[in-house]
Structure 1
Amino acid sequence: MKFQGGIIAWIILLLLSGIGGVVLQASFQHQPRQAALHKTMAALALAQQALLAYANQPLGSTPCDMNCPRPGDLPCPDRNNDGDAESSCSNTARVGRLPWKTLGLGDIRDGSGERLWYAVAERYKNNPRKSPLNSDTPGSWIVRSAEGVSWDATQGNAVVAVIIAPMQPLVREDGWAQQRDIASSDLAKHYLDVSELGDNANAVENADDGFVQASASAHFNDVVWPVTATTMHRHMQQQVLAELKRALRCTLNSCVSFPLAAAVADSSCLGAGTLSRGQCLPATSGLGRLPLDAGAHWPLAVQHILDGDARHHWFQQNGWRELVFYQPGSLRATLVVAGEKLPLQMRTTETEKSSLAAYLEASTLQKLQIPDVNALAVPSNDSLER
């Protein structure tokens, strides 16, 4: 009661001051907009969470010859507004609505009651897959912001997916009056807006005229949420670690020893092709790459994830062996998955790839008690498990 009395007294004071009517009107008009925006941001955050969960589905050890599921996979958009992802998405079909049924969500909507829109990057779509896909694979959608913040493919920080809340229909800056009915339900121009920075209804992948963020106005009210490559890569690293830990775990009564690591300078460990006997050999008790262990010293008998055959497993198909570092021990092994390439880290030539500093930061190497004067003294983006 004291609280209610305080509010009433505050309103009376505002009315007596002569400005209370204006303030109250603005306040009550502002509340619905804030509530709509709150619902919108919650829907966008939930959509990103669902996409990341989809991209991190358990992969198991079942052999797969072609188009194999892999860490980082994202569904194609829903192109006919039925909630289901399309079975494949070509160059012209990577923009549509968020496939909420495929993602296991309810029929989530923005604060205006509209379904969310969605775009997926070519290298991250789940059909047809384009390999390799790993933590060095950049995003390909550019998002420009009127506030000066942007995600730019030419700078290596583009996004892997874009989620858009279309909000209420309006007259676009180009004069197009949005109509939202069954006849227009699949035409992006009736839902997505245009600003001086670009047209969300006609965004082009891997080009300057991608998606745009801008302040709400009479002609623009899209709320654009980029799913960054960095965010996706962190989740991919954790999934690769989890899959490798399962592959290395010893379940036998009498466990055999872990094989030696392959030397970092062994160029036969690089790439995404099938490894043959005599390549990527065990060579060092220190930190190296996961070897092709022809002697079958791995604790488990069947090791599809480690056997080096790109014809039937995502690990080799997508070049993850190049990004994973391994140090054997008597009772346990240490695994490190390198994060995405940072500025000043070069991973193009075989010589560059033979350096630990091209993949791991100084703090990671310090944990492993490996000094390297060439390692970057910056916050690490590597993932380490023992």
Structure 2
Amino acid sequence: MRWLGRHERGATMMGTPMLRNTQTGIVLWLALFLLSGMAGVMLYIAHGTDPARQRAMQKTVAALAMAKQALLAYAQQPLGLTQCELNCPRPGDLPCPDRNNDGIAETSCSNTARLGRLPWKTLGMGDVRDGSGERLWYAVSERYKNNPRLRPLNLDTAGTWSVASSQGVIWDATQGNGVVAVVIAPMQPLMREDGWVQQRQEATTELAKHYLDLNGVIDHAAPQEAALLGFVMAPNSIHFNDVVLPITASQMHQVMQKQVLAEVKRSLRCVALPCNSYPSPASYEDSSCLGNLPLNAGQCLSVATSIGRLPLDVNAHWSWAVQHLLDGHPQHHWFQQNGWREQVFYVPGQSQTSIIVAGERLSGQVRDATTDKLHLRAYLEASTLLTLHVQEAALNVQSNDMLDRVSRP
């Protein structure tokens, strides 16, 4: 079963007719896709448009959907078993944009370099283009870019781009509800609202104003990250025809959550007989398990409890398990570097061990202070605890936790 988090619930609001325009060529907003678990992208089709224009819009929609799929797939690349240093690949990583139109992501994207074209070669996809024949553009959140990485990156990490509609903000980065990436189809060249005439030729390929439009105070060619003036989903007009598709934090978090669950499950699997019992978890009330700083001997220890967090393994791997992510040293693995121990819970059993990756925080769940994080209710919902036969007060809402089990042979 798939559950929607608070960010994605905001995205599904776009399914209502919020953006009606009564000007010439009335605009009708339609939900065109629900593809591979992605939230519907809202695009517009002008009443009475000719078949050629409709075909162009269909091609644009397909291109944006392909780009979104490719970015989400990139964010869950295999992480491998080997140790690394401080800049470890991790769940949720996104490439930097392509800044010189060669299809390859730049090696770094600090400051204003987080807007450019979609790096289609880096993503392993074809030279996908919108219905006007233009390559797609792309902006990545500073918290999700893969170089230089900002840590931690986990399910409590919000996106940093705001996306508005013509009638108000839908995703607001200033309120912790930003999106992690935006893909933009530039469509045909036009005269922007500021009088700039777009000219698309070899000499202008790297200048965003020749491709991206202005809508009121929101300039797609110069978006402001972590502010209200990011991007806008607005009806087509003589001065604006960009088509915007956001990747929400909830959509990304579901991908990250699934990958972390698979990685933890693999790392706890017994691969050498005899398979001993799994050790007791660390207490969820043990504050030494929190954060992304190094864990030292004597911290985050196994205790006699039914449910808790993954304990510190000072030997870097249990003798009968594969090399894994529990040594507690942030220079050795993405798991500790990004504070995932806070969000992964563990219930050992005689023949089967349960692993739970908590979903992103829901309304009513507080994870701000250390004391907030020492309660199961800050992470797990009532239905999850009931499944685990754990008696603990928690939110009685639809759960967004993911649970799996590891069995001993």
Q: TM-score, normalised by structure 2?
A: 0.85
Secondary structure at the aligned position of 2:400 is classed as coil
Whether the 8 Å contact between 2:316 and 2:326 is mirrored in structure 1 is no
Q: Is the alpha carbon distance of 1:333 and 1:165 closer, same or farther for their aligned partners in structure 2, counting shifts above 3 Å? A: same
Deviations 1:155-206 (A, max 9, x none): 3221000000000001111111100001111111000011125111110100
Letter in 2 for 1:381: N
Q: 1:125 maps to what in 2?
A: 145
**Following the alignment from structure 2 to structure 1, what is the Cα–Cα distance between the partners of residues 193 and 317?**
66
Residues in 1 aligned to 2:292 and 2:215: alpha-carbon distance in whole angstroms = 42
Within 5 Å, give how 1:295-314 maps onto structure 2: 298=318, 300=320, 303-314=323-334
TM-score, normalised via structure 1 length: 0.90
SS in 1 for 2:250: helix
The aligned residue for residue 381 of structure 1 is: 400
Which secondary structure state, in structure 1, belongs to the residue aligned with residue 341 of structure 2?
A: helix
CA contact (8 A) 2:86 2:330 kept: no
Q: Distance in 2 between matches of 1:27 and 1:152?
A: 31
Give % identity: 64
**Kept after mapping to 2: 8 A contact 1:255/1:299:** no
In structure 2, relative to structure 1, the CA distance for the partners of 1:233 and 1:295 (3 Å cut) is same
By how many angstroms is 1:351 displaced? Answer: 1.6
Structure with more of its chain in helix, by fraction: 1
2:386 to 342, 347, 366: 366
Paired residue for 2:33? none
Aligned pairs, number: 360
1:335 alignment partner, SS class: strand
Partner of 2:74: 54
Q: Which residue of 1 aligns with 2:124?
A: 104
CA distance in 2, matches of 1:345, 1:128: 30
Once the two structures are superposed, the pairs formed by residues 1-386 of structure 1 within 5 Å of their partners are 29-148=49-168, 150-294=170-314, 298=318, 300=320, 303-373=323-393, 375-386=394-405
The answer as to whether partners of 1:259 and 1:293 remain within 8 angstroms in 2 is: no
Cα distance in 2 between the residues matched to 1:296 and 1:122? 31
Paired position in structure 2 for 1:18: none
**AA in 2 matched with 1:118:** Y
Query: Which stretch of the first structure deviates more once superposed, 299-308 or 204-213?
Result: 299-308
- Note the alpha carbon deviations across 1:40-97, whole angstroms, 9 max, x for none: 0111011010001101001012110121100000000000000000011111100000
Structure 1 residue 130, shift from structure 2 partner: 0.9
Amino acid at match of 1:211: F
Query: Do the aligned partners of 1:79 and 1:86 also contact (CA within 8 Å) in 2?
Result: yes
Do the aligned residues in 1 keep the contact of 2:317 with 2:327 (CA within 8 Å)?
Answer: no
8 Å contact 2:270–2:321 — kept in the other structure? no
DSSP 3-state at the match of 2:351 = coil
User: Is the contact between residue 315 and residue 327 of structure 2 (CA under 8 Å) also seen in structure 1?
Assistant: no
* 1:155–1:378 distance in 2 versus 1, CA, 3 Å: farther
Indicate if the aligned counterparts of 1:258 and 1:299 stay in contact, CA closer than 8 A. no
Whole-angstrom distance in 2 between the partners of 1:296 and 1:316:
12
Tell me the distance in 2 between the aligned counterparts of 1:100 and 1:209: 26
**How many Å separate the matches in 1 of 2:309 and 2:320?**
19
Tell me which structure has the larger Cα radius of gyration: 1
Q: Which residue of 1 aligns with 2:19?
A: none
CA contact (8 A) 2:317 2:323 kept: no
- On the 8 A contact 1:258/1:297 being kept in 2, the answer is no
> Which one-letter code corresponds to 1:187 in the other structure?
L
CA-based RMSD of the aligned residues comes to: 1.6
Per-residue deviation, 1:233: 0.5
Q: Secondary structure at the match of 1:224?
A: strand
Residues 120, 160 of structure 1: 8 Å contact kept: yes
CA contact (8 A) 1:256 1:298 kept: no
Residue 293 of structure 1 deviates from its aligned partner by: 3.1
